[in-house]
Amino acid sequence: MEQNSKKTETHSIGVYLWIWGLLFVFSAFSYMVDWYNFQGLLRWSLIIFFMLVKAGLIMAIFMHLYWERWAIVNVLLWPMTAIMVFVGIMVAESEYTFFTRALYFVMGG
């Protein structure tokens, strides 16, 4: 057990403090999107951009994925494409549902 934990890498405290600070800054930025009441495409793209940056920093540094071997990184990240496909399917589905609801509920068929 002794030599096991000696071999595992530790990183300098500065790395964590930097990422911590960046997460604060990006959270503040995404709150600013609401504070300044941006609307439409600008709002959505900014929200998604800050969200992805924060998620990437947490996964890469805090969850140590950056230092893991490709075997586990690939096993964890490829399934996300299935989620994206599902999102695409449901966007099409909800547009159709909205169309039929508008047609029958609002316009009365």
Partner 1 sequence: MSEIDTSKLPQGGKGFMHDFAADQTTFKGVPWGKAMMWIFLLSDTFIFSCFLISLMTARASTVAEWPYPSEVFGLTMFGVEVPLLLIAIMTFVLITSSGTMALAVKYGYERNRKMCGYLILATAVGGLTFVGMQAFEWSKLIFHDGVRPWGNPFGAEQFGAFFFMVTGFHGTHVSIGVIFLFIYARKTLRGDFDTGRRGYFTSMKSDYKAIEILGLYWHFVDLVWVFIFAFFYLW
Which residues would be at the binding site for partner 1 (CB under 8 A)?
A: 1, 3-5, 7-11, 13, 16-17, 19-20, 23-24, 27, 30-31, 33-35, 37, 43-44, 47-48, 50-51, 54-55, 58-59, 61-64, 68-72, 74-76, 79-80, 83, 86-87, 90-91, 93-95, 97-98, 101-102, 105-106
C-alpha to C-alpha distances, 62 to 53, 58, 100, 108, nearest whole angstrom: 13, 5, 45, 54
Least Cβ distance, residue 109 to partner 1 (angstroms) = 14
Shortest CA distance to 49 belongs to which of 30, 34, 35?
30
DSSP 63: T
76, HSE (Cβ side, Cα atoms, 13 Å): 12
Least Cβ distance, residue 12 to partner 1 (angstroms) = 9
